[in-house]
Structure 1
Amino acid sequence: MNIEDLLRETLSDMAHDEQPPPPGRFLQADGGRSPRRGLALAAAAAVTVLAVGAALAVEGLSSRVTVPRESTGQGTGQALVETGRGRTTLTVKAGLRLSDILDRLSTATGRPVAEFERAVKDGGALGLPAYAKGALEGFAFPATYEVSPESSPREILAAMVTRFNRAAQDADLVAGARRAGRTPLEILTIASIVQAESTDKRDMPKIARVIHNRLNHTPEMKLQLDSTVMYGLNKYGVSASNEDIRSRSPYNTYMRLGLPPGPIGNPGDDAIEAALKPAPGPWLFFVTTDPEKGVTKFAGSESEFLKLKEEFQKNRRKG
């Protein structure tokens, strides 16, 4: 059942109540209603999902706003939303780390970051799936959200999780992970790496294939990905230093076999799809040989990889 149907059903139930519902009605289970349903309604009532965007933008909305029914931006259905006061649109870019999202949400809403950080700690109240293990990183889905002035940090974050759950259902994430021999969290972790390492979404299925091939290699190969190292050190950049790759972080895939403990950002639909359905190919390496132009090349052998690395160093010196 999607948010729209959920809201319609619950409002129908409420029409038969003798007294107006208490304020906590939307946030807690009432009678036979499930906690998931109450939480989803809270998010729907406070935060409307609009369409996937490419940056965090904030703008005041007029009292009548036309918004798409689907959050992918691909649907043509329109819904007219009435708002008694000004509202705010928030567009979260795919691949942002949770810490960056919280900073941007704080700036956009005027609420302290600490309020969002407290809401993050209560993963169960946000509607996270069980396989998230209570952690929000990876599950704050990139999309555009319309937020009322009364929206609380928990409601905003719950709406992002609700949108993730919709995307996971559309992608058949749980069953797809099972077919790939992975857990849903592992697939989402792969998707977050694909999102972080890609400069062009057309490369995502190939990058996902490299990750799967290295994980499935006999004997298993270390992933050796700069993006995971940088995340573990709370740094940014396309290339980890020699000192960085000697760190003891659990996200250091130069030192540790297998995937990092969890997602390193919040991937979008394309990255999740790539993680579930990687392109067929023998590649074990990839190098973004020209970061400025977004050129990524792939190799199946170490000798080919070393040539690509030389090409990267040459382009870097030119820059």
Structure 2
Amino acid sequence: MNIEDVLRETLSDMAREEQPPPPGRFLQVGTRRSRRRGLALAAAAAVTVLAVGSTLVVGGLSSQVAAPKDPTGQGPVETLPDPAQRLLEKITLKEGLRLSDTLVQLSEKTGKPLREFQQIARSGKGLGLPSYAKGRLEGFAFPSTYEIRPTSSPDEILAAMVTRFNRAAEDVGLVDGARRAGRTPLEILTIASIVQAESGTRRDMPKIARVIYNRLDLKPARKLEMDSTLMYGLNKYGISASNKDLRSRSPYNTYLRPGLPPGPIGNPGIDAIKAALKPADGPWLWFVMTDPKKGVTKFAGSESEFLKLKEEWERNRGTG
């Protein structure tokens, strides 16, 4: 049972309880309902998240309006909620978006100060991040469509995104899959973020993941040499690095440093995570987007094949 189901079931139980519970009930620490309620209330203390298809409705507990008491003593009067509480801002965050850009979009859409989002993201506290995130939000702000109430605070919004990530990670078996692959969950998510950044289409993702694994598994390991990681470390965008870029001392410069970068370079979607967990079979060590306009990527297992693909890329961009 995921956290949303727990929350719904618990709130339903609470709504049916017309009389206050006897004092002894709170001493029964071993019951199923006690555990469920404790989990639900702990989650609700941070954020209320209800899944509606692929859309998440995010509303902080502060947005709940208490009904006034009936002066006759017959109970609460039914009232319509404040119109401001019903207004929802729909935000779609695409796969692969960097955290810095995610925070800008959230600020622009909600009208809440960017610095608040940045401070909360920098801290990482209270967001429900898994332990393997090591306190960093990059990679864990799951791309999806969110409907956010005006009263939702930045920490509630970001916590909802982490909740959505945790659910996706459970659905694909991220932790167990990483163990089977001989990698940590953070390494899998880092690979997924590179796959997301480098892929022209979803069908290329398992092959790109295989290129990454093949390079890492060579003895000695071959440098990844990925423009996406280099550009992330430089806080730049583009698909072709300059000679100056290649000399960067950034820990994300995989042209100079062997192995994976320190962490994710964006927030990958579910397809990229699946590709990182189950790459395609193949001998490839290179891939080239030979036609960037059409998003065509081709793969090579030898340096001679790679050079031919590079020539094709140069012809298509008009420099050959």
Q: Is the 8 A contact 1:50 1:144 kept in 2?
A: no
> Which residue pairs with 1:64 in the alignment?
none
> Which residue pairs with 2:236 in the alignment?
235
> Which residue pairs with 2:43 in the alignment?
40
> Which residue pairs with 1:159 in the alignment?
160
User: How far apart are the structure 1 equivalents of 2:125 and 2:276?
Assistant: 26
Letter in 2 for 1:224: E
Letter in 1 for 2:7: L
Cα 1:38–1:256 change in 2 (3 A) is farther
Unpaired segments of 5 or more residues in structure 2?
Answer: 22-33, 56-81
Alignment of 1:299-314 (within 5 A): 299-314=300-315
Cα 1:101–1:34 change in 2 (3 A) is farther
> Which residue pairs with 2:72 in the alignment?
none
User: How far apart are the structure 2 equivalents of 1:105 and 1:252?
Assistant: 29
Local SS of the residue matching 1:146: strand
Letter in 2 for 1:5: D
> Which residue pairs with 1:118 in the alignment?
119
Letter in 2 for 1:205: P
Cα 1:117–1:33 change in 2 (3 A) is farther
Q: Is the 8 A contact 2:10 2:36 kept in 1?
A: no
Cα 1:39–1:259 change in 2 (3 A) is farther
> Which residue pairs with 1:269 in the alignment?
270
Cα 1:271–1:233 change in 2 (3 A) is same
User: How far apart are the structure 1 equivalents of 2:185 and 2:203?
Assistant: 23
Q: Is the 8 A contact 1:51 1:143 kept in 2?
A: no
Counterpart check, 1:194 vs 2:195: yes
**Residue deviations 1:88-129 (CA, integer Å, cap 9, x gap):** 111110000000000000000001110101221332300000
How far is the alpha carbon of 1:10 from its aligned partner?
3.5
Local SS of the residue matching 1:126: coil
Local SS of the residue matching 2:317: helix
> Which residue pairs with 1:130 in the alignment?
131
Letter in 2 for 1:267: P
Cα 1:128–1:35 change in 2 (3 A) is farther
Please tell me the root mean square deviation across aligned C-alpha atoms, in Å.
Answer: 2.4
User: How far apart are the structure 2 equivalents of 1:34 and 1:133?
Assistant: 28
Unpaired segments of 5 or more residues in structure 1?
Answer: 20-30, 54-81
Q: Is the 8 A contact 1:49 1:144 kept in 2?
A: no
Cα 1:36–1:283 change in 2 (3 A) is farther
> Which residue pairs with 1:143 in the alignment?
144
Q: Is the 8 A contact 1:283 1:299 kept in 2?
A: yes
Alignment of 1:22-171 (within 5 A): 37-38=40-41, 40-42=43-45, 45=48, 47-50=49-52, 84-171=85-172
> Which residue pairs with 2:11 in the alignment?
11
Local SS of the residue matching 2:243: coil
Q: Percent identity among equivalent residues?
A: 69
Q: Is the 8 A contact 1:282 1:300 kept in 2?
A: yes
Q: How many pairs were matched up?
A: 279
Q: Is the 8 A contact 1:132 1:185 kept in 2?
A: yes
> Which residue pairs with 2:208 in the alignment?
207
Cα 1:294–1:39 change in 2 (3 A) is farther
| TM-score using structure 1 length | 0.81
Q: Is the 8 A contact 1:209 1:279 kept in 2?
A: yes
How far is the alpha carbon of 1:198 from its aligned partner?
0.4
User: How far apart are the structure 2 equivalents of 1:243 and 1:299?
Assistant: 27
Q: Is the 8 A contact 1:44 1:159 kept in 2?
A: yes
| TM-score using structure 2 length | 0.81
Q: Greater CA radius of gyration, 1 or 2?
A: 2
How far is the alpha carbon of 1:215 from its aligned partner?
0.3
Cα 1:196–1:170 change in 2 (3 A) is same
User: How far apart are the structure 1 equivalents of 2:39 and 2:193?
Assistant: 26
Q: Is the 8 A contact 1:3 1:41 kept in 2?
A: no
Cα 1:122–1:97 change in 2 (3 A) is same
